[in-house]
Amino acid sequence: MAITKGDTLPGATLVKMGADGPQQVTVGELTKGRKVVIFAVPGAYTPTCSSAHVPSFVRVKDQLAAKGVDEIICLSVNDPFVMSAWGESTGATEAGITMLGDPESAFTKAIGMDFTAPPAGLIARSQRYAMLVEDGVVTLLHAEASPGECEISAGESMLEAM
């Protein structure tokens, strides 16, 4: 069952690229006492993710910060090396968006947002969504009906809903 508004995020470990290589971070560490936007994509370097989803959050980063958002996190079922390179190539890293990998899809599966599309080579990937999390609790959730869509999960839609 997919996570919904009012649910507490499950404990999970994600991975980011640190100064000395891959670094594990827990969802609890990221969200405790903080207001965080997490947006997830089916895959780094995929067309809609690169041309629409990430750029939408780069565009509204400052406006989200003005509404009290402490951090914007982009999450994908990819390794931290790919997420780091993708963050550099999209300008997300320069904009201050945190790029995190869920390489085993553990978090994605735990919140019920996984899907598989073998013809596209996407196995155990994340559905496209954006959520506002306050102190570990989902207060706003926008999930797309299709992984190729980026409307309600875009940065502008999240900003408007807040």
32/150 Cα distance (integer angstroms): 28
49 counts as catalytic: yes
For tokens 């470990």, the residue is 13
- CB neighbourhood size of 87 (10 A): 22
State the Cα–Cα distance between residues 97 and 80, nearest whole angstrom: 14
Q: Give the C-alpha separation, 48 to 33, whole Å.
A: 32
Residue 72, token pair as written in the block: 């914007």
Structure tokens given for 162: 């807040």
Distance of CA 66 to the CA centre of its chain: 20
Pick the catalytic residue from 3, 40, 44, 49. 49
C-alpha torsion sign, points 38, 139, 125, 106 = positive
- Sheet of strand 137-143, all strands in order from the earlier edge strand to the far edge: 21-26, 13-18, 98-101, 71-76, 35-41, 129-134, 137-143
Catalytic residues: 49
